[in-house]
Amino acid sequence: MLRHTLLCLCGLLLLLSGCSTVTPHPTTLSTTVVPANTPALETLSSSVTLSFRTAEKHMSGRGVMLYRRPDQLRLVLLSPFGTTLMEVLINGQELILSYPGNGVAYSGLVSQLPRAAGQQPWRLLQWVLSHEPPPGAPEQGSITHTNGFGSEETVTLERGLVVEKSLKQGERVRYRNYRQLQGVWVATELLMEGADGERITVTLEDPEINEDLGEQAFVPRLAGLKLLPLTELKVP
Amino acid sequence: MKLLRVHLLCALLALLPATVQARTLPALEGLEKLRQCFATTQDFTAELTQEKQLSVLRKKLVMKGTIRFKKPDRFLLVMAPPYSGTTLLKDNLLEQRLGQGGELQRVVLPPDQGLRHWFSLLDKPLTRLPDGLKVRAELQRGLYTVVVLPEGQGQMREITIQFQEDGTMRRLVLEERNGDKTVMQFKNLRKNTGLHETDFRIN
Residues from chain A that touch B184, judged by Cβ atoms under 8 A, are: 81-82
Mean pLDDT, residues B10-23 taken together: 56
| Any domain includes B12 | no
* Spacing of C-alpha A143 from chain mean position: 22
CB-based contact A206 B82, cutoff 8 Å = yes
Give DSSP secondary structure letters for chain A: -HHHHHHHHHHHHHHHHHHHH----GGGGSSSPPPTTPPPP-EEEEEEEEEEE-SS-EEEEEEEEEEETTTEEEEEEE-TTS-EEEEEEEETTEEEEEEGGGTEEEEEEGGGS-GGGTHHHHHHHHHHHT--PPTT--SSEEEEEE-TTS-EEEEEEETTEEEEEEETTS-EEEEEEEEEETTEEEEEEEEEE-TTS-EEEEEESS-EES----GGGGS---TTPEEEEGGG----
Burial of B88 per CB tally in 10 Å (0-12, 13-18, 19+): buried
| Any domain includes B99 | yes
| Any domain includes B134 | yes
Does B72 sit behind a cis peptide bond, omega within 30 degrees of 0 on the bond before it?
Answer: yes
- The residue of chain A nearest to residue B58, with distances taken between CA atoms, is A213
| CATH number of B89's domain | 2.50.20.10
| Any domain includes B14 | no
Mean pLDDT, residues A40-66 taken together: 84
Task: Tell me the per-residue pLDDT of B86-119, one tens digit each, with 9 for 90 and over.
Answer: 999 999 999 999 887 778 888 888 887 788 888 7
> Which residues of B have a CB under 8 Å from any CB of A?
50, 52, 54-59, 61, 77, 82-83, 85, 87, 96-99, 102-107, 153-156, 174, 176-180, 182, 184
The pTM score is: 0.79
Residue B10 pLDDT > 90, yes or no? Answer: no
Q: Give the pLDDT band of residue B7 (cuts 50, 70, 90).
A: low
CATH number belonging to domain A2-131+197-229: 2.50.20
Cβ neighbours of residue B59 closer than 8 Å, sequence gap 6 or more: A45, A208
CB-based contact A47 B77, cutoff 8 Å = no
- Residue B172's SS3 state is strand
Mean pLDDT, residues B13-19 taken together: 47
- Going from N- to C-terminal start, the domains of chain A cover 2-131+197-229
Q: What ipTM was reported for this prediction?
A: 0.79
CB-based contact A216 B102, cutoff 8 Å = no
Q: Does A179 touch chain B (CB under 8 A)?
A: no
The boundaries of the domain holding residue B164 are 22-199
- Residue B118's SS3 state is helix
| Any domain includes B5 | no
Lowest-pLDDT range of A25-39, A149-163, A210-224: A25-39
Q: Which pLDDT does position A124 carry in this prediction?
A: 65
Q: Give the pLDDT band of residue A142 (cuts 50, 70, 90).
A: very high
Mean pLDDT, residues A144-158 taken together: 86
Q: Which pLDDT does position B163 carry in this prediction?
A: 95
Lowest-pLDDT range of A57-71, A110-124, A180-194, B42-56: A110-124
CB-based contact A47 B56, cutoff 8 Å = no
Task: Tell me the per-residue pLDDT of A28-38, one tens digit each, with 9 for 90 and over.
Answer: 333 333 344 55
Mean pLDDT, residues A124-128 taken together: 60
- The residue of chain B nearest to residue A89, with distances taken between CA atoms, is B56
Q: Does A79 touch chain B (CB under 8 A)?
A: no
| Any domain includes B7 | no
A58: closest CA of chain B, how far (Å) = 6
Task: Tell me the per-residue pLDDT of B50-63, one tens digit each, with 9 for 90 and over.
Answer: 999 999 988 899 99
| Any domain includes B9 | no
Q: Give the pLDDT band of residue A173 (cuts 50, 70, 90).
A: confident
| Any domain includes B8 | no
Q: Give the pLDDT band of residue B175 (cuts 50, 70, 90).
A: very high
A59: closest CA of chain B, how far (Å) = 6
- What total number of domains does chain B contain? 1
